Amino acid sequence: MPRFSSLRGLALAGSMLVALPFAALAQTSSPDYQRKLLRLSEILGTVHFLNRLCGGQGDQLWRQQMVRLLNAESPPAARRARLVNRFNRGYRGYQQAFGECTPAARVAQKRFLREGAFLSQSMTRDRAN
């Protein structure tokens, strides 16, 4: 997993996650892709919560990214429900862990942004091959 030592590097990681070309990834059904998609959904829920907790109260960026992902995928109802459940699981899990923005919450936020960027890049590479 790439390391980001500066805020600029972290911002780049976040922008890569935001720029994930969902339409290019849509309709891939391999088990590995589905596993990554579920994990990405959970990460989006987690960073949505952590972003709101740490100052982005009205910011819906990560929720909007989840909506984009769902629109691009157009999954059947059961798969859509699994993706939404994973997003909500990520959100709720960290909602229970953090009641206020602490240094640990910021560390978790950075960690999930990195993981999401890495996962997004991996999914894009897998799709290109």
**pLDDT tens digits for range 45-65:** 999 999 999 987 778 889 999
Cα dihedral 108, 110, 112, 116 in deg (nearest 10): 180
pLDDT tens string 82-109: 999 999 999 999 999 999 999 999 999 9
The answer to whether 86 and 70 are in contact (CB under 8 A) is no
pTM of this prediction?
A: 0.80
The secondary structure of 106-117 as a DSSP string is HHHHHHHHHHHH
Give which of 115, 125, 88, 128 is closest to 13, Cα–Cα: 115
**Sequence-ordered list of residues with C-beta below 8 angstroms from that of 77, at least 6 positions apart, any chain:** none
